[in-house]
């Protein structure tokens, strides 16, 4: 059978990325232009600034992805682009560029759900991985437990009712004076701290797989404000370790419960928070204890990238699920309606 080359384009938040993936499993190139250095000046992602930077970066990033893969646009079988969820203005840049490229070169166009991309990133790291499995997606915008029954059947078992895990990390880090994105910094400090502050574990109730992180975030912020008001020095290492343990315990506990309830023995993770060392190690231990096959993708495939979008594109290509010029960015795109 002929090899299928998909060009992936991702601009849903603050990374401009393009990638060429062969047959849904082999990365030929994966270019990521990060805007972190710009957004950290503001303490977080500024949507309008993100959109402008995507406009500046997109053409060069796509060109480099084709060059790195040693292919030309005429070798591409389909262009897969993230069309939601994410920042509306940022998504529009990628979608418009993909539509123009597809129209001008007469190449199939495919619209991809961003969270589906985080799940499919796992196929790029392990060619033997096949559904069914459970996926835990934890990022700056999402915290989802999703049952994947086959390449096109997804069921959301639980999700956050307020803040995403990464959002809570970034907010706590900001109050401790750490630069955006705070997740990796808290992860580092946590290694040298102790969980002696015993922040609350928010389980909501035993019969839900939903998450909630805003109460934990408030408890940490109250502790920090109290220390500041009373001029008490706090240990950044201990606050980091205590916050991280509270997040990880709930993430891993609900994941374990979802595996058991759904009789699944394979787990994949994804999203920026899946880079977290504390989470990776606790998930691995839980997997070993329960005879669950755990897939931890490499860190470059956990954070936003276009290779994961191209990986989804391949399976949509096999289903001839093509879109045309009517494809539009959808900031609140629903996973079950893709």
The nearer residue to Zn ion, 256 or 304, going by C-beta atoms, is 304
Q: Helices then strands (H, E): number in the chain?
A: 11, 10
Contacts of 76 (CB under 8 A, 6+ apart): 5, 6, 7, 20, 66, 105, 107
Q: Are 305 and 15 in contact (CB under 8 A)?
A: yes
Interface of this chain with ligand KG4, residues 242 to 271, rule: CB under 6 A: 271
Strand, coil or helix: 1: coil
What is the rounded CA–CA span in Å between residue 18 and residue 37?
19
Tell me which of ligand KG4, Zn ion, none is bound by residue 245, counting a contact when its beta carbon lies within the kind-specific cut-off of 5 to 8 angstroms: none
Binding site for Zn ion (CB under 5 A): 139, 304
Instruction: Classify strands 108-113 and 133-138 as parallel, antiparallel or unpaired.
Output: unpaired
Taking the complex as a whole, how short is the minimal distance between the CB of residue 304 and ligand KG4, in angstroms?
4
Stretch that binds ligand KG4, among 59-67, 211-219, 272-280, 323-331 (CB under 6 A): 272-280
Query: Sign of torsion, CA 270 267 250 254?
Result: positive
Backbone angles phi and psi of 90, in degrees to 5: -70, -45
Tell me which of ligand KG4, Zn ion, none is bound by residue 276, counting a contact when its beta carbon lies within the kind-specific cut-off of 5 to 8 angstroms: ligand KG4
Under rule CB under 6 A, residue 85 binds ligand KG4: no
Of 324, 326, 296, which is closest to residue 110 (Cα–Cα)? 324
Q: How many residues at the interface with ligand KG4, by CB under 6 A?
A: 19
Taking the complex as a whole, how short is the minimal distance between the CB of residue 174 and ligand KG4, in angstroms?
10
What is the rounded CA–CA span in Å between residue 313 and residue 14?
21
Tell me which of Zn ion, ligand KG4, none is bound by residue 169, counting a contact when its beta carbon lies within the kind-specific cut-off of 5 to 8 angstroms: ligand KG4
Under rule CB under 6 A, residue 13 binds ligand KG4: yes
Which spans in 42-145 are helix H?
A: 47-69, 88-105, 114-125
Taking the complex as a whole, how short is the minimal distance between the CB of residue 315 and ligand KG4, in angstroms?
20
Query: Sign of torsion, CA 94 100 103 105?
Result: negative
Interface of this chain with ligand KG4, residues 165 to 184, rule: CB under 6 A: 166, 169-170, 181-184
Pick the binder of ligand KG4 from 85, 140, 287, 313 (CB under 6 A): 140
Under rule CB under 6 A, residue 276 binds ligand KG4: yes
Q: Please tell me what DSSP assigns to residue 43.
A: T
The nearer residue to ligand KG4, 268 or 275, going by C-beta atoms, is 275
Under rule CB under 6 A, residue 273 binds ligand KG4: yes
Taking the complex as a whole, how short is the minimal distance between the CB of residue 115 and ligand KG4, in angstroms?
9
Q: Are 87 and 45 in contact (CB under 8 A)?
A: yes
Under rule CB under 6 A, residue 187 binds ligand KG4: yes
Under rule CB under 6 A, residue 94 binds ligand KG4: no
The nearer residue to ligand KG4, 169 or 199, going by C-beta atoms, is 169
Chain residues in the site for ligand KG4 (CB under 6 A): 13, 139-141, 166, 169-170, 181-184, 187, 271-273, 275-276, 303-304
């Amino acid at each position: 059978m002929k090899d299928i080359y998909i060009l992936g384009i991702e601009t849903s938040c603050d990374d401009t990325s393009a990638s060429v993936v062969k047959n849904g499993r082999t990365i030929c190139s994966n270019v990521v232009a990060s805007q972190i250095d710009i957004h950290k000046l503001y303490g977080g992602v500024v949507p309008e600034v993100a959109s402008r930077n995507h406009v500046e970066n997109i053409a060069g990033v796509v060109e480099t992805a084709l060059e790195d893969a040693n292919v030309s646009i005429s070798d591409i079988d389909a262009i897969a682009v993230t069309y939601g969820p994410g920042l509306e203005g940022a998504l529009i840049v990628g979608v418009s560029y993909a539509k123009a490229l597809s129209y001008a070169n007469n190449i199939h166009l495919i619209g991809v759900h961003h969270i589906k991309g985080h799940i499919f990133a796992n196929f790029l790291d392990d060619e033997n991985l096949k559904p069914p499995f459970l996926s835990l997606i934890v990022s700056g915008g999402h915290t989802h437990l999703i049952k994947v029954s086959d390449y096109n059947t997804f069921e959301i078992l639980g999700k956050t009712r307020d803040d995403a895990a990464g959002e809570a990390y970034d907010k706590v880090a900001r109050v401790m004076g750490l630069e955006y994105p705070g997740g990796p910094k808290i992860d580092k400090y946590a290694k040298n701290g102790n969980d002696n502050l015993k922040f609350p574990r928010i389980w909501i109730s035993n019969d839900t797989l939903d998450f909630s992180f805003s109460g934990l975030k408030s408890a940490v912020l109250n502790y920090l404000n109290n220390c500041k008001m009373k001029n008490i020095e706090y240990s950044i290492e201990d606050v980091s370790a205590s916050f991280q343990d509270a997040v990880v315990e709930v993430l891993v506990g609900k994941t374990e419960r979802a595996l058991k309830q759904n009789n699944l023995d394979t787990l994949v993770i994804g999203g920026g928070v899946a880079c977290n060392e504390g989470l990776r190690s606790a998930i691995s231990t839980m997997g070993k204890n329960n005879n669950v096959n755990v897939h931890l993708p490499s860190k470059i495939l956990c954070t936003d990238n276009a290779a994961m979008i191209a990986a989804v594109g391949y399976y949509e290509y096999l289903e001839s699920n093509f879109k045309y010029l009517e494809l539009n960015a959808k900031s609140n795109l629903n996973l079950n309606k893709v």
